[in-house]
Amino acid sequence: MKTKSVLISPIETVREDTGNTPLSLMQPKKGGKISHLETKNPGILQKLMAMGVLPGMPVTLLRRTPSFLFEVDQTRYAVDREIADHIFVSF
């Protein structure tokens, strides 16, 4: 079982001051732009990119429970916490 500290690599720590936070820590109904994706897990990275979740895209978090529900452009995605930890958003 991975803990969160492993998922957030040292290079890409949460930088609250610049507003660069993982999607999993965002408040619902809040919008921003995807700044980058955590690249340490190639499987998740490839999946996210293929599905169109890419840096530069506007993103709005709609729900945190029962799963993370967010909107990029005109598409909605449901993901679990582990994936939401991989998406970083700036405001």
What is the C-alpha to C-alpha distance for residues 73 and 58, in angstroms, rounded to an integer?
A: 6
In the list 6, 18, 28, 58, the residue contacting another protein (rule: CB under 8 A) is 58
Tokens representing residue 81 in the block: 């916490």
Q: At its nearest, how many Å lie between another protein and the CB of residue 8? A: 16
Of 8, 48, 59, 61, the one binding another protein (CB under 8 A) is: 48
Q: How many CB atoms lie within 10 A of CB 73?
A: 11
Q: Among residue numbers 62 through 91, which ones bind another protein (CB under 8 A)? A: 63, 65-67, 69, 72-80, 82-83
Closest CA to 7 of 37, 34, 50: 37
Q: Specify the residue, 73 or 91, whose C-beta has the smaller distance to another protein.
A: 73
